[in-house]
């Protein structure tokens, strides 16, 4: 073997293919390798290689693709993925500049996204992968208020004294080094320099010279040094003698401040908006296929899973994953059953997939009751599923995946899980649209009797008589039959959507309310496409949110063709004008950004500063300002501005508040927050590209609107030692 020269020629094609399949070799590398020689080019063109590369990069995507065998050219599929990733990046990065004055995505942007979705059969999945990669890159900006750990005053004093001692040591060393540089000792060849002995630390820290702790309130800020007159009166910053000053914020423990940086906020903001639209179109296709089937071929659990997916665009949630979770529960039930009843016929039968309909239970009455016993044991004793009585109106109670995770739910979701497990084990149940409390019915095999299962109360079974006795008001036989009628999967889904709408109406803030109510109404309109009331409600929601003007125009025209409505007529005319303006702006060249106004010395604060409202104590961040109040007289009186010291003749700031609202605050009511923390507002990325731990950095568009704010912001942070 010694002296043998190795080359690629001695390696078989199979081994080279195995090497190229390694995860360390990127798709880009394959293109370079193919250019080296004809042999490697031929190996690189192997379809199996490209399938390995694509499925390795996108494992979650292939969870979504139900039939990967339909792909014939895997190399071309990889090209499509790379091309779509590039187009998605280009689109998202340009949205901030295009939509600087828009609250939401415009109709031309939606058209661009739709065209990209329709470009290839799997484009929507590749777009979701690319958008999720942008959104989930790095630490995620909080969506809920952040509570910072406050420092014990005694602990802070001890740390401060230790810091002062270290500062004194460093100052003494610095003075000695400066003296040594000014008066270097003479050195002879006969007398080599001796090693320096380490400086002895001072016996006592010079407490008398140390400044006291700053007061709890922020010190008053000097006026912004940005006017020419003030710049002439004050020497340049480089000429000022630096004043020694302890950095109070860094003296305190890091836990008393938000130490996490959140970057790329603007790109993530617009990626989320595009992802919402793409995900909805993806789910819309799934719903269209589901609703096209006859009711008997619409599995109940599939409908519930589609509802769950519709409202969770940011979760890696697949149908296969939820089906596997339910399959595992059924297998656990069979394992427990086999330990007590090894002769049960269900043990010899594979679990029944949800796509296979049942018309009746496969087992006898006694065998079904044996199964019920172990199903209840696994679900309610081992898994500890139970009704969420403490937080009944939580949104997560309506989602199958969240109920399986938290083990808490409401009657309808618990019954759907119970139904799915029983179906897999051969027990036929039917959903009952019982008022105020969802139930399941079980026809007892060999009889005409029904029992009713309440999964919210650990799977207890009641007869019809027992169930009627629990009603607050006695009802007759006819009414009882109506109350206990079976319902279709579509009706169950409508009831789930109704629950989510009720949760939306309980949200404290309008952004949270509409963020749930809009997709809920869209899904309800998809399930009931001929309901005029739902259609009109959806159009009004679009109009309120200022989105989908093309849908508003088409929807209003269709409804007006059926019956005249002055409200719809006005909505139609207004939407047509806005849509024409949006299309015109989209075709025109992007205009340069004009600064909003020049600063004056009275404007103390700057965009990006995290503030605290003195009166209402809320945390906010400034994203704009006016030299004076620009609101009308009614607003001024309603908000009590006339009672302020400077009334409307003072700067007013546009702020994003941590509760999700936008407000207009007077300067005398604001102060820089002592403990800056992230502001969980949905539009934070529209204006800012990064949170540093002390302040927000405006994105390029906001910085051009307020070009003089950077110096004021930096001065404010420097004064506070940040």
Cα 77 from Cα 120, distance rounded (Å): 9
Collapsing DSSP states into helix, strand and coil, what is residue 671?
Answer: strand
- The three state secondary structure string of 681-702 is CCCHHHHEEEECCCEEEECHHH
The tokens describing 141, both together, are 């900006």
Question: 135 Cβ partners below 8 Å, 6+ apart?
Answer: 268, 271, 272, 275, 314
Residue 199, class by beta-carbon neighbours within 10 Å (0-12 exposed, 13-18 middle, 19+ buried)?
A: exposed
Question: 244 Cβ partners below 8 Å, 6+ apart?
Answer: 171
| Cα end-to-end span (Å), the chain | 66
Cα 269 from Cα 451, distance rounded (Å): 51
Cα 278 from Cα 123, distance rounded (Å): 10
Q: How would you label 125-138 residue by residue, b for 16+ Cβ within 10 Å and e otherwise?
A: bbbbbbbbebbeee
Cα 351 from Cα 324, distance rounded (Å): 12
DSSP state of 377: I
At 707 the pLDDT is 96
Cα 414 from Cα 439, distance rounded (Å): 10
Phi, psi of 278 (to 5 degrees): -65, -45
For strand 408-409 and strand 386-387, is the pairing parallel, antiparallel, or unpaired?
Answer: parallel
The tokens describing 172, both together, are 């003494």
The tokens describing 182, both together, are 């000014």
pLDDT along the chain (722 residues), means of 10: 64 87 85 88 87 78 68 86 94 95 92 95 91 91 69 48 57 64 48 35 36 36 38 39 36 48 95 95 94 93 96 86 95 96 95 95 97 97 95 94 96 98 98 89 95 96 87 67 85 95 78 83 96 96 93 97 95 96 88 88 96 95 96 94 94 95 96 93 96 96 96 93 82
Strand ranges of the sheet holding 652-657, from the earlier edge strand across to the other edge? 662-666, 652-657, 619-626, 610-613, 670-672
Greatest distance between any 2 Cα atoms in the chain? 120
At 475 the pLDDT is 64
Quickly tell me which residue has 């299309």 as its tokens. 583
Question: 472 Cβ partners below 8 Å, 6+ apart?
Answer: none
Radius of gyration for the alpha carbons in the chain, expressed in angstroms and rounded: 34
| Percent of the chain's residues with pLDDT above 90 | 59
For the chain, which residues make up each domain, given as ranges?
9-135, 293-470+481-493, 530-586, 610-719
CATH class of 293-470+481-493: alpha beta
Quickly tell me which residue has 């319902």 as its tokens. 487
At 207 the pLDDT is 35
Quickly tell me which residue has 């596997």 as its tokens. 324
């Amino acid at each position: 073997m010694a002296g043998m020269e190795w080359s690629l020629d001695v390696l078989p094609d199979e081994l080279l293919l195995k090497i190229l399949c390694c995860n360390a070799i990127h798709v880009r590398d394959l293109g370079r390798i193919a250019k080296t020689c004809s042999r490697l080019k031929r190996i690189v063109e192997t379809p199996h290689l490209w399938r390995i590369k694509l499925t390795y990069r996108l494992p979650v995507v292939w969870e979504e693709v139900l039939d990967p065998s339909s792909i014939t050219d895997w190399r071309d599929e990889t090209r499509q993925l790379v091309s779509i990733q590039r187009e998605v990046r280009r689109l998202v990065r340009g949205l901030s500049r295009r939509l600087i004055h828009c609250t939401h995505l415009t109709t031309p942007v939606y058209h661009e996204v739709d065209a990209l979705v329709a470009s290839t059969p799997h484009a929507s999945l590749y777009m979701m992968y690319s958008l999720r990669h942008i959104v989930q890159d790095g630490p995620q900006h909080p969506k809920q208020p952040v509570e910072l750990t406050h420092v014990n005053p005694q602990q802070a004093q001890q740390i401060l004294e230790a810091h002062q001692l270290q500062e004194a040591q460093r100052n003494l060393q610095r003075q000695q080094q400066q003296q040594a540089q000014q008066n270097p000792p003479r050195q002879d060849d006969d007398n080599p320099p001796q090693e320096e002995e380490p400086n002895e630390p001072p016996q006592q820290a010079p407490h008398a010279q140390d400044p006291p702790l700053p007061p709890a309130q922020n010190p008053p800020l000097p006026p912004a040094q940005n006017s020419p007159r003030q710049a002439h009166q004050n020497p340049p910053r480089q000429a000022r003698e630096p004043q020694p000053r302890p950095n109070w914020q860094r003296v305190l423990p890091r836990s008393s401040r938000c130490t996490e940086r959140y970057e790329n906020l603007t790109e993530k903001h617009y990626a989320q908006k595009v992802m919402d639209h793409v995900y909805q179109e993806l789910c819309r296709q799934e719903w269209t296929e589901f609703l096209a089937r006859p009711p008997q071929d619409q599995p109940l659990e599939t409908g519930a899973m589609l509802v769950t997916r519709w409202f969770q665009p940011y979760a890696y949630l697949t149908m296969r994953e939820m089906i596997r979770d339910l399959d595992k529960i059924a297998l656990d039930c069979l394992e427990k059953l086999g330990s007590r009843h090894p002769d049960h016929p269900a043990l010899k039968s594979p679990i029944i997939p949800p796509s296979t309909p049942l018309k009746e239970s496969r087992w006898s009455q006694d065998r079904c009751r044996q199964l019920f016993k172990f199903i209840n044991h696994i679900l309610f004793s081992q898994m500890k599923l139970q009704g969420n009585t403490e937080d009944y109106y939580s949104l997560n109670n309506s989602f199958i995946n969240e109920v399986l995770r938290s083990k808490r739910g409401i009657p309808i979701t618990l019954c759907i899980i119970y139904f799915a497990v029983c179906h897999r084990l051969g027990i036929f149940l039917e959903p009952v649209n019982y008022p105020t409390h969802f139930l399941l019915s079980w026809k007892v095999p060999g009889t005409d009797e029904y029992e009713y299962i309440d999964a919210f109360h650990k799977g207890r079974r009641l007869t019809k008589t027992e169930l009627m006795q629990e009603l607050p008001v006695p009802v007759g036989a006819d009414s009882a039959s109506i109350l206990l009628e079976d319902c279709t999967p579509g009706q169950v889904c409508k009831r789930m959507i109704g629950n989510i709408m009720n949760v939306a109406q309980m949200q404290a803030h309008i952004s949270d309310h509409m963020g749930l109510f809009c997709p809920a109404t869209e899904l309800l309109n998809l399930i009931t496409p001929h309901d005029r009331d739902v259609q009109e409600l959806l159009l009004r929601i679009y109009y309120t949110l200022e989105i989908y003007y093309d849908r508003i125009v088409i929807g209003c025209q269709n409804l007006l063709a059926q019956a005249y409505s002055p409200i719809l007529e006005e909505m139609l005319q207004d939407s047509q004008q806005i849509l024409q303006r949006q299309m015109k702006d989209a075709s025109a060249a992007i205009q340069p950004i004009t600064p909003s106004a020049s600063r004056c010395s009275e404007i103390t604060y700057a965009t990006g500063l995290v503030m605290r409202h003195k009166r209402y104590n809320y945390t906010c961040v400034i994203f704009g300002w006016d030299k004076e109040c620009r609101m009308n007289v009614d607003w001024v009186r309603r908000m009590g501005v006339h009672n302020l010291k400077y009334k409307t003749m003072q700067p007013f700031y546009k702020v994003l508040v941590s509760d999700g609202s936008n407000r207009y605050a007077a300067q005398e009511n604001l102060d820089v927050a002592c403990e800056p923390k992230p502001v969980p507002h949905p539009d934070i990325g529209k204006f800012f590209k990064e949170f540093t731990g002390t302040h927000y950095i405006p994105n390029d568009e906001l910085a051009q609107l307020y070009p003089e704010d950077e110096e004021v912001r930096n001065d404010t942070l420097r004064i506070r030692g940040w």
